[in-house]
Amino acid sequence: MPELRLKRGNVIKIEGFASFHIKEGKVSIIGGLHDKWAEVVIPRAKSIPIEAESDAIIEYMLGPSGKIEKLPGRTIPREWDMLVEEIVAKKPRVVLIWGEVDAGKSFLSTYIANMLIRKNLRVAVVDGDTGQSDVGPPTTLGVVVVDKPVVFLRDVSAHATYFIGSMSPAGHILEFMVGIKRMVERGLKSADVVVVNTAGWISGGPGRAFRLYEMELLNPDMIVALQRGRELEHLLKSMDQFKIRRIAVSKQIRPRSRSDRTFLRELALARYFEGAGRLILDLGKVLLERCYFHTGEPIDPKSLGDTSIVYAEKMPEGLFIVVSGELSDNKAQELKAKFENLHIIRPWDAKNVIVGLANSNDELVGLGIIDEIDYAREKLVVVTPVKDASSIMAVQFGSMKITPGGREVGTIKPGTF
Amino acid sequence: MTFEESELQKLVDEIIGLLEKYRDDPGSLDVILSELKSLYRRVPIYPGIIANCLSMVVKSIEPKQLKIGDEVSLLTKDNRILTGKISSVMQGEIKIVDCYEYGGQKLSDECNIPLANLKEARLFTREILHKEWPDLDFEE
């Protein structure tokens, strides 16, 4: 394995795919102090700076697209250290980090967490980016409690996660608001400081609404605005100026391409579902959430006079039916006249829909991918790494279709189920 | 509520704008409708992406920039509107195949149009989701 000798104060950047371990000496990685035998794997489309705190030797391997670059000096701006000093001095309970996509919010959150544990503070980080999630799998929000130096937050087991069901906050603002509040509350129970890394949606009507209501809901003690220029000023104008700390984006932050982001999402999902098995859930025993299905009064499908209807229930919004063949226009009109509205789905519509699996405390225990719903027998078959079906009390419907290999294969029209 | 809390309004504004802009051009409207249906079927949870993509389906183009394979709507100086696919580009003239005129009647298998006769050319882009957001172009 090739070696790289570093003198105290040397700074390098390693781009993935790459792996290395420290053979001798001490290095600082994103503010965290690491010594002998620490091993790090850097995926494609990610890079990290390494600062030698003493003379050090690292052994490394570079994969395709991996590279090592010597840098002229520290990559962490001085103002980041001043921010950490202020957090240590004032001990704000909730620190909200705002920044557009690829501003380095995860990097800054990790840096703050690593620096605070050096000062013996307990830190929790809430990850609000469901697409490029570092905490928990994509489609979830999560919180980690950091108690030792970390390179990537994904290397720490999530303290709690909340299912959103989508890669983006678009159309899921309510789920986001509930989830982020819950994750911050969980973090506050275990940590002195909770750092909230928010999604990079900062403009347009929904983006503004999302940011401002999130701020009102969480009532942070400090808002860190990570900016390249003035891209957050439209939000900051209406804020309590005493809470705002304006911080420059590190010049080392390289925007990721859309294909890189897709690759990282797929990789994270594929890792999550690796080794997953099929679980059969009894719809008579588990609750179904975030859907119309199973919320109405069951109707015997045979009573509706069409053999293509395999499942039916009456809801305030009309008749919910699952149709396996062709429903004649006459029958459809007859049912619509009788029930005012028809909500039709097909047995195969649920295939590959991502779902959250929650326990009796309404906490997410894992993700699942629907393999099939047997409407006649009231069984739901999911592919999931969760092994124990008895731990699952509720199934929350998401808005994406995913394969167990991590590939996104579709989205769900809101209200379909 | 002071902000749009979803991008649905943006999509409706975009559709209204396109209907007004191309009300005299059924060829363009047909392509816009076809793309709208395709986009909504594939990414119903992203109305903002649908609106952005939809705005790119039909765009004005300099007649001299037209090339073989382009699918277009052509407004001539005598106010005829022709749609079709360009099969050849010659000095001062283009030839289009599957040529329809306003009203939907197929003119002939192919049609020669002197560039000097053109007032405006509108270039169609089908499969816009695949071109703009290939990672969201899910198989149906």
At B20, is the pLDDT very low, low, confident or very high (cuts 50, 70, 90)?
Answer: very high
The fold of the A78-255 domain, in CATH, is Rossmann fold (3.40.50)
Return the CATH fold of A275-417: Elongation Factor Tu (Ef-tu); domain 3 (2.40.30)
Burial tier of A366 (Cβ tally within 10 Å: 0-12, 13-18, 19+): buried
Q: Which fold has domain B8-129?
A: SH3 type barrels. (2.30.30)
Which band of pLDDT confidence, cut at 50, 70 and 90, is reported for residue B108? confident
Strand B118-124's sheet: what is its strand order?
B58-61, B118-124, B71-76, B81-90, B93-101, B105-114
Residue B39, pLDDT above cutoff 60: yes
pLDDT of residue B102: 72
Interchain CB distance below 8 Å, A170 and B43: no
Report pTM.
0.88
Residues 6+ apart with CB under 8 A from B30: none
B43 to A259: CB separation less than 8 angstroms, yes or no: no
Residue of A nearest to B5 (CA): A206
Give the pLDDT score at A186.
97
Contacts of B132 in chain A (CB under 8 A): none
Does A412 sit within 8 Å of B45, measured CB to CB?
Answer: yes
Query: Tokens 């790119």 map to which residue?
Result: B56
- Whether the pLDDT of residue B103 is over 80: the answer is no
Q: Using the beta-carbon criterion (under 8 Å), do B3 and A170 form an inter-chain contact?
A: no
Decide: A372 and A322 in contact? Cβ < 8 Å: no
- Is 70 exceeded by the pLDDT of residue B104? no
Q: Rounded to a whole number, what is the distance in Å from the CA of B18 to chain A's nearest CA?
A: 21
Q: Among partner residues B4, B6, B45, which is closest to A411 by beta-carbon distance?
A: B45
pLDDT at residue B107, rounded to an integer:
67
Instruction: From first to last of the 417 residues of chain A, give the pLDDT tens digit.
Output: 899 999 999 999 999 899 999 999 999 999 999 987 778 899 887 889 999 999 999 999 999 889 999 998 888 888 999 999 999 999 999 999 999 988 989 999 999 999 999 999 999 999 998 888 889 999 999 999 999 999 999 889 999 999 999 998 888 999 999 999 999 999 999 999 999 999 889 998 999 999 999 999 999 999 999 999 999 999 999 888 899 999 998 877 777 888 888 888 999 999 999 999 999 999 999 999 999 999 999 999 999 999 999 999 999 999 999 999 889 999 999 999 999 999 999 999 999 999 999 999 889 999 999 999 999 999 999 999 999 999 999 999 999 999 999 999 999 988 899
For residues A82 and A85, give the distance between their C-alpha atoms in angstroms, rounded to a whole number: 5
Complex-level ipTM: 0.77
Question: Residue ranges of the domains in chain A?
Answer: 3-71, 78-255, 275-417
Best probe of the A interface among B7, B45, B139, B140, by most A CBs < 10 A, is B45
Domains A3-71 and A78-255 fall in the same CATH topology:
no
Distance in angstroms between the alpha carbons of the first and the last residue of chain B: 37
Q: In sequence order, what are the residues at sequence separation of 6 or more whose Cβ sits closer than 8 angstroms to the Cβ of residue B33?
A: none
Q: How far is A251 from chain B (nearest CA, A)?
A: 28
Q: Give the model's pLDDT for residue A260.
A: 84
Taking an 8 Å cut-off on Cβ atoms, the answer to whether B138 and A414 are in contact is: no
Tell me how close the Cα of A310 comes to any Cα of chain B, in angstroms. 24
Any idea which fold A3-71 has?
Answer: Jelly Rolls (2.60.120)
Q: What is the mean pLDDT of residues B58-74?
A: 94
Tokens of A279: 């679980």
**Cβ atoms within 10 Å of A73's Cβ, excluding its own:** 9
Q: Across chain B, what does the average pLDDT equal?
A: 90
